[in-house]
Structure formats: C-alpha cells, structure tokens
Amino acid sequence: MTHMTLIRHGQANTHATDEAGYDQLSELGHQQARWLGEHFIQAGQEFARVYSGTLKRHLQTAESLGAARFGEVVEDARLNEFPYYSLRAAYERQFGAVNPQTQEEFAVLLCELLEKWESNILEDVSESYASFFNRVTEVMDHIAAGDGPALIVTSGGFISTAIRHSLGFDLQSWTQTCLATLNTSVHTWQPIAGRRHITQFNAVPHLDTPDRHEAKTFI
C-alpha cells in the first residue's frame, strides 16, 4: 500500500452542452495546472509513478503541470469521469427538460441525477453506477498496490466517489463532495495502521494567494 495524490483537472469549457464540447481546458485551466506544477517544484514534491485518465482535459492538465518530469504518464480509462451528459440526457428523456440557472438549481439537479442513477432508474445511460463505482474501486486498489508515491490526474466525480468509498458517505454527502471539488485541487490517501485513509481534501496551495482568489473555480 502506498501514498496516492489525486488531482482534479483544470477548468474545462464551462459553456459546453455535451461531453465532447466540455473536454477541453480553458486558458485558466492550463494556468491552474502550471501553478500547481510550480508548487510541486517549490515544495520538493516527488512521485515515483504518474497516472492519468484518457480524457483530453486530464492529459492537458498532466502536460501543463509538468507531470512527465516524474516519469511516464500511464493513461488508464478507469480514471475517467462518470458520464454526466449521458445521465442528464436520460433524465430529460424520462422526466422532461431541465435548465438550471443557478448553482443552487444545479446542485438540486445533480442530486436527483445521481440518486436516480444509483437506483438504476435512468434508462439507456452509457455506464451504470455499479460499473462506475467498481472501476473507481478497482483502479484505486491497483495503484495503491504499486511501489512508491503516485500522482493521479482525474475528475471531480471520480475523486468524490473514491472519498465516498473511503468514508462511507450517503448520497447527500457524496453530491456535496462532487460540487465542492475545486479545479486542480489536491487530495491524498496514505496507509495508516494497515489501511488506506484520506488525509487531505480539496487543497489548493498553489491558488492560496490574494492575486489568485478569482482562479479558484468549481466548473
């Protein structure tokens, strides 16, 4: 069992209406990742292994933060995000169109989406909740079993689900964790007393300066 550091990707295309459109870092997203890479250098942070999801925003984040200096970036599709746009399309087919205008309205929608997904109510989605949860658990176990500290670039839904697995969160807590996860935030797991524990959540030390306050983004 080893130390794992999970990074959420930088800000993506916030005006997208589908997965393909969303899967592209904004200029701010690239800058967030560059700042994180600089922070790792200044802090003397080292990693023995590097992993990334296969989505464009994952790979762009890994490139902009300079992850390759720690070694070859291993791409693993099990680290990819849950299929939000597929879930939303299924929800609209079954329950009518939705158009959240505020953060509060989006939070309500996401909670309803995830509840219906977890309960297998949504039809014709690209991935079931059980399949997603199993691959999150599987790849976390796989990486944890390797040698040396690992850096992992992934997505907020993946990270929040890994946290749910570790802490036994209910649906509401899981949803809140999804919504709270910042772009390029740092989350760590490490072995304590023979078990894997989360020891850091949503840290953004590279953005904790007055001139970067506006660079803290959730979407």
Q: pLDDT tens for residues 58-85?
A: 999 999 999 999 999 999 999 999 999 9
Q: Residue type for 180, please?
A: A
Pairwise CA distance, residues 114 & 172, whole Å: 10
Contact in structure between 190 and 115 (CB atoms under 8 Å): no
Residues 159 and 181: beta-carbon distance below 8 Å: yes
Three-class SS state of 192: strand
| pLDDT over 90 at 14, yes or no | no
- Quote the CATH superfamily of domain 4-81+132-215: Phosphoglycerate mutase-like (3.40.50.1240)
Give residue 121's pLDDT band: very low, low, confident or very high (50, 70, 90).
very high
pLDDT tens figures, 142-192: 999 999 999 999 999 999 999 999 999 999 899 999 999 999 999 999 988
pLDDT score recorded for residue 13: 85
Identify the pLDDT of residue 201: 96
Question: What single-letter DSSP state applies at residue 22?
Answer: H
| pLDDT value, residue 19 | 83
pLDDT at 5 over 80: yes
Q: What mean pLDDT do residues 91-112 have? A: 88
Calculate the average pLDDT of the chain.
Answer: 94
Instruction: Answer yes or no: are the C-beta atoms of 6 and 159 closer than 8 Å.
Output: yes
* Sequence-separated (6 or more) residues with CB below 8 Å from residue 160: 174, 177, 178, 181
Is 50 within 8 Å of 59 (Cβ atoms)? no
Q: What is the pLDDT of residues 18-33, one digit of tens each?
A: 788 889 999 999 999 9
The predicted structure's pLDDT at residue 194? 80
Q: Where are the domains of the chain?
A: 4-81+132-215, 83-126
* Paired strand residues for 51: 74, 152
